[in-house]
């Protein structure tokens, strides 16, 4: 099972997706702690999520941890799963109202980063960390 989780291809270009997804999630997670009133618990309270004082740091912690794992390419597929969940909840809780209030095109414009992170995370779940990842190095050392 560990072999399958770590297995990835030799694609060198995967690092571009890893850097994009990992850097955005790491940055957003840190900001949930630095600016809790605006981007963490305060934001969660504003959009009506339950227990925002718990959820803000909880989500921020997952974004920091999984963003760091994605950046390094360690357990990339596993790290992509919570990031997918975060993005699905973010789209459902913030963009559905935009769709209702402002229409389809406005919602698409305002959710472009959300879609990029969602699709990037799906890509990493499917492909893994790529050639320049810790996952690739572990699988080449261990199972050759």
For the segment 12-38, what is each residue's pLDDT rounded down to a tens digit? 999 999 999 999 999 999 999 999 999
Instruction: State whether the Cα torsion 25-111-118-19 is positive or negative.
Output: negative
Instruction: Count the alpha carbons within 13 Å of 133 in the hemisphere toward its beta carbon.
Output: 33
The overall pTM is greater than 0.85? yes
Residue 114 has φ and ψ, to the nearest 5°, of -60, -45
Which tens digits make up the pLDDT trace of 42-81? Answer: 999 999 999 999 999 999 999 999 999 999 999 999 999 9
* pLDDT range class, residue 142, cuts 50, 70, 90: low
Helix 14-34 and helix 52-72, axial crossing angle in degrees, nearest 10:
150
């Amino acid at each position: 099972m560990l072999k399958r989780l770590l297995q990835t291809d030799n694609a060198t270009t995967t690092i571009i997706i890893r850097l994009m997804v990992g850097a955005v999630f790491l940055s957003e997670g840190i900001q949930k702690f630095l600016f809790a009133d605006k981007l963490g618990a305060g934001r969660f309270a504003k959009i009506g999520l339950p227990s925002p004082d718990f959820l803000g740091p909880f989500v921020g912690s997952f974004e920091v941890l999984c963003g760091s794992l994605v950046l390094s390419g360690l357990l990339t597929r596993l790290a992509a799963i919570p990031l997918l969940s975060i993005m699905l909840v973010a789209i459902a809780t913030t963009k559905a109202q935009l769709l209702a209030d402002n229409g389809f095109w406005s919602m698409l414009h305002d959710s472009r980063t959300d879609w990029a992170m969602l699709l990037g995370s799906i890509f990493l779940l499917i492909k893994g960390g790529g050639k320049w990842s810790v996952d690739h190095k572990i699988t080449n050392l261990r199972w050759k």
